[in-house]
Every structure is written in C-alpha cells, then in structure tokens.
Structure 1
C-alpha cells in the first residue's frame, strides 16, 4: 500500500511539473511573437531611413521621406500587430478558411468562391491609378518584410494563433488588399438576405407578409407565387442568428449589412468658428476590432484615422485641412434572379433569346483534416449561381431553378481603393469629391469638411432598373425577362444640400423627385430623426456636443412604441399586493411610464422594454409565419407601429388564428408583458427595480479562432456590458434569438470626432486594443475606454508624437550604412 501511495504521489508531482513546464513553454513561444517596438531593422524595399513612433495607446505614427516608404511602413506595422487577422481576412476573401478551421468553414469558402471576390480583385488591380498601384505594392512589401523578419529571427511565427492552426503565410500580394476591400463591400450590403426574406414572407403570408418589411411609400410587391407558380417554402431551414460567431470566422460576413452615422456642422454652427465632423462605422464585435488606428506622413500632408488591416488606406480620419467619414448607403446594390435550368441538361439555362450554356469553372476547396472537395461554379449573364444552402435560398428556389446574383461589387472595373486614397490625400473638399467619382462598391455617403464648409455626397455604382421591373429589385425575379435585368450601372451623381449649416447620414437616401428609389431596406429612419433633433436642438455645436450626440443612447423606437402598445395598460387603480404578478406588472408599467427611453446598462427599463417588445413581436407573427418567425430576429418598429395604428388593416396581425376568440392588440400587449415579466423573473428574481439592462446586454467580443476553444476563450474573448440598442445612435444591434437574445453582436467599432478649429483636439477610439496578440497589454486597453464612451487624442504634430512615444521602430534601407559606418543588427 505504501509503495502504491509513493508511486501515485510521484506521478501526481510529475504530472503537475509537466503541466507547469508545458505552460511555461507555451508562454515562452507566445511571448516571442510580441513585437519589440524599440527595435531597429535593416530591410529591403525602402529608399530612406524611417521611423514608426508608437504612442501610449500603441498607435503607429509613421514618418517617412516619401509615400512609398510610408505605405511600406504601414504594411509592416499592420503585420506587427494584426498578422493573424490580416491572413484570415485574406483567406475569407479567397475562400480558404476551411484550410485552417475545417469543415465548418466550408459554406463561407463556397460563397466566397462563387462571388469571385479574389478573382475580381486580381482583375481590378489594373483599374487602379498609378499612385494606388504603387501604394499597394509598397504595402505588400512591408507586410512581407515583417514575415521575413519573423522567420529569420524565430519570433514566434508572428502570432500565437499560428501555433494552434495550421497555416503557411503566403507572400502578400497587392491584389490581396483589394480582395479584402471586396469582402468589406460585400459585408456592407444586406440586400441578398432581404430579398430572400421578402420572398419567404410572401409565400408564408401572401396577404399581409409585406407589412413586416414595407417602408414608407413603398409600392406593393407582387406575390412571389405569381412570379413562380407552384413556389412554396421548402428546402433549407430559415437562418438563425445563433450561429453568428461561426459566421465571423473571417471577421466580415458577406451581406450581413454594415451601418454607420456621420454628421457635420459648418463654421457658422460651431462655437470655435470652424467645421466639425463625426463618424462611427459599425463592425462586428470581435477581438481584435476590424479597425486599427494609424498616422501617415505623406507628401500631400499628414493623415490620421481608422484603417482596416490589410488595406493601405484611412477610411475615416483627417489631415490638417480636411476631414472625411463614410456611411454604407444601403442602396439596393444586389439582385437575385431565378434562372430556369434546361430540363435534362444542368449545364444550360434559359436566357432572353432562348437556352444557352452556363459559363463553368471547377475549383478545389482544401479542408483541414478531411479530403479536398471540388465545387462546380456556374455563371449566367446575370451573375454567378449561389448554393441553395446559402441565406436560406433553397427555401424560395422553385424546383428546376437556380439562384444567380447580380452585385455591383463583382465588377473588375472597380477603382474604389484609388478613390479612397485620393480622398485621404486631397487638399480640400473639391479634390476629395473629384477623387470619389471613381468609387464603385460599397456605395457610401461620403461626408467631408474643410475650412470652407461641409458637404455630403452619395458615391458608388448605382444599378439602373426599368420601371417595368417586376419587383424593383426587392425579391428574386425571373432572370430571362429583359425588363427585370439591370439596364445599366452608373456612378452616383447626387449631393445633398446642407440644411441650416449641418448635414448627416445614417443610411439609405430617399429618392429625389422623379428618381427611381435607391433602396427599400433602410433601418435608419428613427435614428436619422433622433440625429436631426439633436443637431437642430442646438444653435451652435462644439466637439463635446458632437461626442454627446455620437454617444446618445436614447431609443427613438421605445419613445414611439411604448405609448402605442401600452395605451390601455397604464396602471391607474390601487396597488396590488407585493410579490404578486399583478404588482410586478404595475411596477414595470410605472417604471416605463417615467422612463425617457435611455438604454442605459444600469437601468431596468430598457430590459423590460426589450423583453416586452420581443415577446410581443413574436406573438404577432408566430401563428402566421410558423418556423419562419425564427428568422425575424431584429425588432421591426415600423411593423409594430403599423399594427397598432391599424394602417391598411394591419391590426389583423393581433388576432391569433388558432384560437376561437378574437384577440385585440391590447390583449396581446398585456399577454406579452406578462410573459416577459415571467421570463425575467426566472432569470433575475422577482424585484423588478433590481433588474439591469447590462446583465442581458453583455457583448462578447469574440476572437474568431481562439474564442470558441475552451479555456482559451477566457483569455482571447472580452465580455463587457453595453448601453444602447437597435435604434440608438450609439448602436448595438441584438442577437435576437437563442438563450441570450439581447446580446449585442455589432457596434461602432470605431468612433472619431474631428475638429478643424483645433485639429489636434480631434478624438478617436476603437472597440479593442491596437494589438491582435492576446498577451499584449494593447490587446484590450482601448476597449474599456470605448465602452465608457471615452476617446484618445492623436496629434499630427511630430514633436508631440515623439514626446509621448512608448517605442520607436527604425527601418533602415539595406546596403546603406548609417552615419558612423555601422549598421544595427537585425532584431
């Protein structure tokens, strides 16, 4: 027995020691991949010595003697901090995620291959101007130089993720940056998903389905079954928001829809007598954030702001004399076509002039740990065929048909990056607007400010549809009918006038008199109304008032809907006994009656409101739509407003078809509130006043690779409660389904406010730290400030940048000795 005890003790001690040694070894190799920001490197590809000065927040300030060297240094800085993210974004655009993630990423790869993002990017390289091609090549050289340094000096493979996921880091090519920009353009659009959902609603509820998505003044849609007789909901199950972390394996999800706000005030409406501009492009809440702060010293002038790692451009930022911001315009930039496949020959389809051949190519998708898979890609005159498994397409595709996609971003004649670089190097608004005429996809509202004023313009490619188009692009249509096809694709020629010294953008623009509609899927009407009210509510604005507006958490949807749904419920009688369900309802209604609509994480009212509206919307649509109701994950304020005002008979949604009684909307409101209170009581206890929005509205900023791995997720992911909601200006859209329906899944991944009266007082913030390395102190240091609504200042003054430097990386051209005759050893 004693011998057994001794051996057990020895084995236990040995196991503990082995685990400790393994942990130390993992730590050592992981820390080896942390870059030394005070190193000097001799590199090939630059003409002169340059410096990358790192601020306290790890923002690189790049000082170079020429533009090529500056873009080289940006590529190297991006690779130092975000190498894994860059390679994953590239893989997502190329359709090569399954090589590292395995079979679960196959659908994303299949979609990227069908969209042809990488192929179109390679073709688009020729469409860029000489300045942009030079920037792309210099940037690629900088990325590759850092990878070479990592390999030469054994710096932990450049990122700890590469120890866990099989990957060979291929040389960065100029077309890779364009492919990531194509991926961003695809993620900015939500049209494909909207078309599928409209078709599903038309099939499930042909009489009233349009109520759910119809915009103000939107013309009626034809029944989908009238376009394709015999069509019915079948095939692929409706999508659910529960799988969003998997969707974000590549950081950007095609056709998920990105939003933003931008607003500006000219000199006459500001306290300092110079324009102000604010911008907050949205992104998924990942670790690290999609955005990365950087400053470039260029020949045209210094620029500073938000970049996307992998792309050599500042999307939103400022120079000394110009500020700019972008808002994805949510125009209808994509159409689905149902192509009839020739019976007996799957390689032919019906065209305008009769049967014709698909353009066919075959590609191989490599998958980790299992054999490769071949896919056959077919393309029509309208665009590539998509898989029936994507976006629930199989549920609305009639038998004998296949779905093809026409999208503005698929073109090879895409000089969007040239436009973006032209904007950031322009001396003023006129120069920026001239450069922006090259913009293709995504179409954006470009907001500009210089010392002479502010301006807003829609830029990008606009599909031209015939007035005879069967659905005006809102649902899939027969692809062989000429009137349904795009008549042309033209650049936007639209500039909205500044009203009373301010302008703003939060989504799709309404059509001008006599124009065809630009789109029908804007979710921004309530936010735009709130933004207009805040901007018009002050005679003059300051940087602080712009920050206050950008961080506004008042829900205009709550203010609009609560008086409607609670009209017959507000408590007026004697208080019920404490602890009873009736008393809980009275307490909840009392709180909501006194609430100003602020979606503060510290208050119970936002949680009661969100749970009530969620339960109410589900009750309104569940009996009519059945399982399809699971796909309506976001609150539809316009739909609920139509129902409770009984617009065009929409109150019919309140009657439950399966019951004998005729329910009223007031009855459904009370039932939904009671159900919400029961659910919240089970989770948070019976005291209504102790509930907190932040307990449910907790963001999980997930690392797409390490986050889902047990235990590693505790290191790589970040959890923090947030204020705001679906319709607030500080937007935090909800997951809307599953066990955590109120979890925010996206937000303003970058915020910037630019003050041209005192440019160095302009402020910036991103939703994570600058580094993508989980062991770096800069991995999440900005995230807490972002959550609290704080910002950092970033100066273009070289002396201030150097005075606050926490590290200076020096790059020296190979073959050119330093003063004194010695070259530093490479680190």
Structure 2
C-alpha cells in the first residue's frame, strides 16, 4: 500500500509539473507577441525617421516629416496592438470567417458574400482622392512592416489568438481599410430589419392603429397613415415561423436595438462660461474586449489631431485638432429597402423588370469551411441590388411564393468616397471646411457635430436615397421591385441633408432623435433611434445659461431616466399606497415594498440602487403581458420595453388600451390589472435571480458591462482572462446609455454603450479629456488591455493634449522607425 501511495504521489507530482510546464510554455509563446514600445526598427516605406511616443495611457503620439510617414506609423501601431482585431474584421468583411471557425459562421459568410462588401471596397479604391490614396497606401505599408517583423523576429505570430486559430495572414491592402468602413456601415443600420419586422407584425395585427402602437412613429412626427402590408404584397404564407438564428457575436448584422446610437452636443461662445466653443461626443457601439476604439494622435501637415480611431482605418474618426472638434452620432437615415422580385415561372434565371423578364446577374463564390467541405454559392443580383436568401434577416417570412428579395442599400456602390470625406473632415480647420468635406460621404449615415473656435454646427452626412413620392410603402415595408415607383432614383443632393449652423440658442446636439420634420421623401427616416434621451438632454442644456467642460461631462454621465419618471406615474397610478396590510414575506407585502421604493425614486439608474432593477423588470414583464397573446411567437422579437408604446396604452391613444385585455380570457382585464400582475412577475424573477431581499438588490449586479472577447469570451477557463465585466449605472434610455441585451437569462446586461467619450473646450484645447472602455492593447497579457476600463466605469477621463512635451514627459515608451537605406 505504501508503495502504491508513493507511485500515486509521484504520478500526481509529474502531472502537476507537466501542467505547470505547459502553462509556462504557453505564457512564453503568448508573451512573445507583446510589442516593445522602446524598440528601434528599420523599415521599408518611409522617407525619414518617425517617432511613436506612447504617453502614460499608452496613446501613441506620432511624429513624422511627411503625412505618408505618419499614416505608415499609425498602421504600424494599430498592428502592434490590435492585429487580431484587424484581421478578424477583415475576414468578416471578406466573408471568410468559416475558414477559421467552421460551420457556425457559414451563414454570416453567405450574407457578406451576397452583399459583396469586399468587392465594392476593391472597386472603390480607384474612387478616392489623392490625399486618401496616399494615406491608404502608407497605412497598409505600416501594417505590413509590423507583419514582416512578426515573421522575421518570431514575435509569437503577432497575437495570442493566432496560436489557437492559426492561419496565414495576407498583406494589408487599401481595400481592406475601405471594407472595414463598409462593415461599420452594415453594423450601424437596421432599416431592412425594421421593414421586415413591421411587415411581419402587420400580417398578424388586423388594425393599423395597433401596428402604430407596438411600432410607433416618433411622437413629434406628422406621419400619415399607411396601407397595410398585406394589401401591398398579397399571398404571403399564413404561417410564418421565426427563422432567425442565435445571436452571433462575430456577425456584423446586429439586432435592431443594437445597431448603433450615440450622443453629441456643442455650445457656442455665448453659451460657454469660457467664452469659447465646447463639444462633447460619445459614440455607442457594442461592447467588446478590446473596445472597438483606439486612441491616437497624428501630427499632420494640416496640424495635430487626436481622438478615436478604429484599427484598420487611417484616420481619427472622432476627435479634435487645435482648431476644430468633430463628433459623430448615428443619423438613422432610411438607407435600405427590401424589394420583392418576381421570378419567371418559366425560367428561374430571370426576374420581372419594368419592361419584362430580365436575367439575374450571377457569379459563383466558394466558401472554405474549417473541418468541412467547401461550399459553392451562386450570387445573384437584380437591378435593385443583391438577392438575399430566405433564411437571412427573416426574409422568408414575408416573401410570397415565386418571389425572391433583393436589398437596395446606399453602401453597395463601387464609388464609395466615404473614406476620402472622413479624412477631409479630419484635415479641416473650420466648420465650413468640414461640412464641405462631408459632401462625399456615403455610408454609414451620420450626424456630424462640429465646433471650431467661433461656431458650431450639425450636418447629416451620408447618402439620402431619392425615393419616388408615389412609393407604395414609403420605404417602410418591403415592396415590389418591378414597379417603377418603388425604385430609388439616385440620391438627393447634399444640400438637402439636414443642416444647422450656429443656431441663435447657442446649443445644438443629437441623441439619435428625430432632427427634422419633413414630408416624405425628404423625411430622412421613419425609424429614429431615440425618443427619450433627448428630453433629459434638453432639460440639462436649458437648466444653465452657460456651460463648461464639466457640465458637458455631467451630461455625458447623467443616469436619470426620463422614461422611468414618465412611465412609472402611469403604471403605478392606481397602485401607489394601496392594498391591505400584509404579512412579511407574502407577495402582497413584497409588492407594497417595491411600490414604496419606486414612489420615492427620482428615476436615477444608479448601479447601487434596487429601484432601477425593480423598474426595469416591471416594464419588461408588463410589455410581455401586453403583447404575447396578440403576437404569439413574434412577441419574442420585441426584446426591449418601448416607452412610447406603454404610454399609448395607458393614455388609450387611438384605443391602445385594448392591449391590456387578454384575448384568451373570458374576463376583461384593465391596464391596472396587468400592471399589478406584471409587478408580481417581476418580483418573482428578481427573487429567483437576485434574492428575496428587495431592498438589498443592486441594479449594477444585473447591469454588468460585458466587454467580452468575441472569440474566446465563451471558452472554458480562458474567458476569465479575456473578458472584462463591470458593474455599471445607466440604462436603455439614459444619456449615460447602457443598453441592455433584452434576451437570455441575464436580460439586463449592459451590452451596448459609449466605448469612447471625449469633451473638448476650445478656450483651452489641451484641457480636453477623453476615455475608452477598456484599454489600448488587444493583448490579454498586456497591462494596457484593461487599464482604462475602471476609469471609464467610474466616469473619469484622461487629458487629451496635443502638446508633444506633455506626451514625452511621462512616456511609457518611444519607438523609432528608420527608413531602410
């Protein structure tokens, strides 16, 4: 027995030693890909030495003798810190994810191939102006210089993920940068999905007023009633299964609620305490680890610029120079239409055109699949756009037999000059120059908020599709593509894009709200991204006669929900301070406790309070009870409580209170009945998930920011190292927006928020501040992987200076690139 024991001890010791050795070896190989920020390198592609000075937040400040050399160094720095992120995004834009990840990514690849995003990017390289062409080429050379160093210097394949998903990395090309911008455009639009959902919902509801309830127009809009979708496109099958696949973190197609948002506002000198303009911007995108954003400073011939870049693109997308600040918010332009195309029953290779049958334009495309056989798909186009399969975007649920669907989208052009426009904006020094530069921007549509030293402005940039006034659905439903009135007629002139320059009130801004009230077809959109945050923003802006950098920061960090304050007064109108005395622990007592807490609450979605969780769970359960009997399985598509819908129901606008009556029951339920039942549902859910002590629950425990690695975030053990989770304040409708997932076992996780925040004061530009959600490095072993995350969570910022001496004073490293002779 003693001998056996000794053998077991020896074996266990050997196994432990092997595991430790394997971990040490893995760490050694992974650590090899960490860049040395103090290294000097000799590279091909620059004309003179370039310095990359990394300040104490690891933000690179790049100094070179020519702009081309500076863009070269930006590509080099991006590749050093975010090589995996860049190559993954390029693969997504090319439709080549299945090569790395297998069959799970086939559907995403099929969609991207059918849209031909990369093909349009390749063709658009020739459409760029000279400055942009130089920047794209130099940037590509810089990325490839780092790839050469990785290959020559055994630098751990460039990123730790490369050891797990090893595949050759092709050289970076200018088209790759354009493709990533197009991929961003796809991520930021949800117009096609909204069209399909509206059509599916209209086929279930037999009353147009009920459709306006559940998918309401903006309350300030004067939109006229529309014909029902079923009248436009008859013969759609009665049974419409939900065809949507599980959410894929690698797919650029996001659910409509996650398709992009943002805040930006500006004050002119008259409304600024400093006597100079102010600008704040915080773009909202899906949270990932690392964040989408990468901070950088470029010293160009036109002057220094600093702010948020996206690895893969040679520009500061949002930021400031000494003379100009610029910020972006999603404009929600209706830039997509679903066209239903009739297929020739005698020849499936033809579709109906205006003047008869016409052959589809076709091309074969081969998708390689890891661990499986390659797939060949036939890409098809009509004159309206690419044909999409019925299993994409739920299109099969609204397509009648004998038809297919095509997508018209402004980004599907071979002459996309958006990159040239964005670089032109970055180089501008006045509001007028930036607005002029924006004329060539195509997609994604954005509201460009500007502030120079004297003036402020807001201009919508991006193509506005020119629809016919007689369009059957005004772009709100899928419509027949062979009818001339449903086809686009190019784009409206840039002068028709909404524009506001130096308003007399001295303040302007956008929270993705409706910015113009114009008749179709110059309406811009019917689907605006915000109907709630704008009210809180307006109150904060009007509460002060003048603003400061700090008051703009306070507005960015504001967590009071206008929606909560307005909805609770309706939901609890007949419940406050009512009910008989009840024993501790009974449902009635728990309901009274919850109502007592909410009655004294000011609507602040603070992570440390119980009230935000009670409110969020209550409105979620209330909407579920309202719609599930009318919509059936389709109710699962409405993942987030809509304050406008709930207000319509309680105020009985156009008879909307009928939603409160349960169709399947014999009795007639009131909205108060449903509100009481929904509150009990919410309290049961909270008890099961967060414990029975209602007063002790925390919103932040449910509202965790999920900075998850898109590939390794679900891997056993590894997710503890690569994911960043944080308790956060805010919510779906607060200025400090933390959009909840709305689905799954943790529906209140914060999955979509401001990955970048910047506030610029042109009285003292170097007092400007900024922050990102994680850190500069994409390497989990780097101390800069999450070094900014805790500051971001606490609402803190770091200085944003263009002073080179300040950058050098606390530099964590100075890299020198020298030209090869």
TM (norm. structure 2) is: 0.97
- CA distance in 1 between partners of 2:90 and 2:420 (Å): 19
Alpha carbons 2:243, 2:391 under 8 Å: kept = no
Give the aligned partner of residue 307 of structure 1: 309
Give the aligned partner of residue 91 of structure 2: 91
Moved more, 507-516 or 312-321: 507-516
For each residue in 1:627-669, what CA deviation from the matched residue of structure 2 results, as whole angstroms up to 9, or x when unmatched?
1111110221111111111111111111100000011111111
The DSSP-based 3-state class of the residue aligned with 1:733 is: strand
Alpha carbons 1:284, 1:747 under 8 Å: kept = yes
The DSSP-based 3-state class of the residue aligned with 1:745 is: strand
TM-superposed deviation, 1:515 = 5.6
Task: Say whether residues 1:737 and 2:739 are aligned partners.
Answer: no
For each residue in 1:513-542, what CA deviation from the matched residue of structure 2 results, as whole angstroms up to 9, or x when unmatched?
556321111131211121111111110100
TM-superposed deviation, 1:234 = 4.2
Question: Residues 353-364 of structure 1: matches in 2 within 5 Å?
Answer: 353-364=355-366
- Change in Cα spacing, 1:474 to 1:286, as seen in structure 2 (3 Å) is same
For each residue in 1:475-527, what CA deviation from the matched residue of structure 2 results, as whole angstroms up to 9, or x when unmatched?
11111111111122124323125251000012254445556321111131211
The DSSP-based 3-state class of the residue aligned with 2:176 is: helix
Give the aligned partner of residue 66 of structure 1: 66
The DSSP-based 3-state class of the residue aligned with 1:464 is: coil
- CA distance in 1 between partners of 2:305 and 2:515 (Å): 32
TM-superposed deviation, 1:683 = 2.2
- Change in Cα spacing, 1:420 to 1:631, as seen in structure 2 (3 Å) is same
Question: Residues 446-485 of structure 1: matches in 2 within 5 Å?
Answer: 446-485=448-487
Alpha carbons 2:562, 2:734 under 8 Å: kept = yes
The DSSP-based 3-state class of the residue aligned with 2:262 is: coil
Give the aligned partner of residue 159 of structure 2: 159
Q: 706, 709, 713: which is aligned to 2:719? A: 713
CA RMSD of aligned residues (A): 1.5
Q: 672, 677, 682: which is aligned to 1:676? A: 682
Give the aligned partner of residue 766 of structure 2: 760
The DSSP-based 3-state class of the residue aligned with 2:739 is: coil
TM-superposed deviation, 1:265 = 0.2
Q: 563, 571, 586: which is aligned to 1:565? A: 571
Moved more, 293-302 or 100-109: 100-109
TM-superposed deviation, 1:466 = 1.6
Give the aligned partner of residue 495 of structure 1: 499
Task: Say whether residues 1:580 and 2:586 are aligned partners.
Answer: yes
- CA distance in 1 between partners of 2:318 and 2:512 (Å): 16
For each residue in 1:777-817, what CA deviation from the matched residue of structure 2 results, as whole angstroms up to 9, or x when unmatched?
000111111111111112101111111101000001111xx
Give the aligned partner of residue 648 of structure 1: 654
Q: 601, 605, 617: which is aligned to 1:611? A: 617
Moved more, 133-142 or 472-481: 472-481
Moved more, 542-551 or 730-739: 730-739
- CA distance in 2 between partners of 1:258 and 1:233 (Å): 33
Q: 266, 269, 275: which is aligned to 2:268? A: 266
The DSSP-based 3-state class of the residue aligned with 1:576 is: coil
Alpha carbons 2:309, 2:317 under 8 Å: kept = yes
Q: 773, 788, 795: which is aligned to 2:794? A: 788
Q: 218, 228, 235: which is aligned to 2:223? A: 218
What residue ranges of structure 2 are gaps of 5+ in the alignment? none
- CA distance in 1 between partners of 2:518 and 2:60 (Å): 47
Task: Say whether residues 1:528 and 2:529 are aligned partners.
Answer: no
Over 6 Å off, 4+ runs: none
Alpha carbons 2:704, 2:726 under 8 Å: kept = yes
- CA distance in 2 between partners of 1:264 and 1:363 (Å): 47
The DSSP-based 3-state class of the residue aligned with 2:464 is: strand
- CA distance in 1 between partners of 2:504 and 2:590 (Å): 47
Alpha carbons 1:250, 1:704 under 8 Å: kept = no
TM-superposed deviation, 1:294 = 0.2
Q: 315, 329, 332: which is aligned to 2:331? A: 329
TM-superposed deviation, 1:576 = 2.8
Give the aligned partner of residue 354 of structure 2: 352
Question: Residues 198-237 of structure 1: matches in 2 within 5 Å?
Answer: 198-207=198-207, 208-215=210-217, 216=219, 217-232=222-237, 234=239, 237=242
TM-superposed deviation, 1:709 = 1.1
Give the aligned partner of residue 194 of structure 1: 194
What residue ranges of structure 1 are gaps of 5+ in the alignment? 816-827
Task: Say whether residues 1:248 and 2:249 are aligned partners.
Answer: yes
- CA distance in 1 between partners of 2:13 and 2:627 (Å): 61
Give the aligned partner of residue 556 of structure 1: 562
TM (norm. structure 1) is: 0.96
For each residue in 1:102-158, what CA deviation from the matched residue of structure 2 results, as whole angstroms up to 9, or x when unmatched?
111111111111111101111111111000000000000000000000110101011
Q: 737, 746, 754: which is aligned to 2:752? A: 746
Question: Residues 400-411 of structure 1: matches in 2 within 5 Å?
Answer: 400-411=402-413
- CA distance in 1 between partners of 2:672 and 2:514 (Å): 35
Give the aligned partner of residue 31 of structure 1: 31
For each residue in 1:589-633, what CA deviation from the matched residue of structure 2 results, as whole angstroms up to 9, or x when unmatched?
111111111111111111010000000000000000001111110
Moved more, 52-61 or 674-683: 674-683
Give the aligned partner of residue 19 of structure 2: 19
Alpha carbons 2:513, 2:534 under 8 Å: kept = no
- CA distance in 2 between partners of 1:107 and 1:697 (Å): 31
For each residue in 1:742-774, what CA deviation from the matched residue of structure 2 results, as whole angstroms up to 9, or x when unmatched?
112110111110111111111111111100000
Q: 613, 632, 643: which is aligned to 1:637? A: 643
Give the aligned partner of residue 821 of structure 1: none
TM-superposed deviation, 1:426 = 1.0
Give the aligned partner of residue 340 of structure 1: 342
Alpha carbons 1:224, 1:231 under 8 Å: kept = no
- Change in Cα spacing, 1:533 to 1:232, as seen in structure 2 (3 Å) is farther
For each residue in 1:142-191, what CA deviation from the matched residue of structure 2 results, as whole angstroms up to 9, or x when unmatched?
00000000110101011000000132110000010000000001111110
TM-superposed deviation, 1:253 = 4.4
TM-superposed deviation, 1:283 = 1.1
Give the aligned partner of residue 626 of structure 1: 632
The DSSP-based 3-state class of the residue aligned with 1:290 is: coil
Question: Residues 291-440 of structure 1: matches in 2 within 5 Å?
Answer: 291-440=293-442
- CA distance in 1 between partners of 2:336 and 2:550 (Å): 39
Alpha carbons 1:306, 1:315 under 8 Å: kept = yes
- CA distance in 1 between partners of 2:689 and 2:704 (Å): 15
Give the aligned partner of residue 820 of structure 1: none
Alpha carbons 2:95, 2:109 under 8 Å: kept = yes
- Change in Cα spacing, 1:65 to 1:84, as seen in structure 2 (3 Å) is same
- CA distance in 2 between partners of 1:254 and 1:682 (Å): 28
Give the aligned partner of residue 276 of structure 1: 278
TM-superposed deviation, 1:575 = 4.4
TM-superposed deviation, 1:316 = 0.7
Give the aligned partner of residue 823 of structure 1: none
- CA distance in 1 between partners of 2:253 and 2:649 (Å): 35
Question: Residues 810-825 of structure 1: matches in 2 within 5 Å?
Answer: 810-815=816-821
TM-superposed deviation, 1:262 = 0.5
- CA distance in 1 between partners of 2:18 and 2:239 (Å): 55
- CA distance in 2 between partners of 1:611 and 1:56 (Å): 42
Moved more, 301-310 or 253-262: 253-262
- CA distance in 2 between partners of 1:354 and 1:515 (Å): 29
Task: Say whether residues 1:728 and 2:728 are aligned partners.
Answer: no
Give the aligned partner of residue 819 of structure 1: none
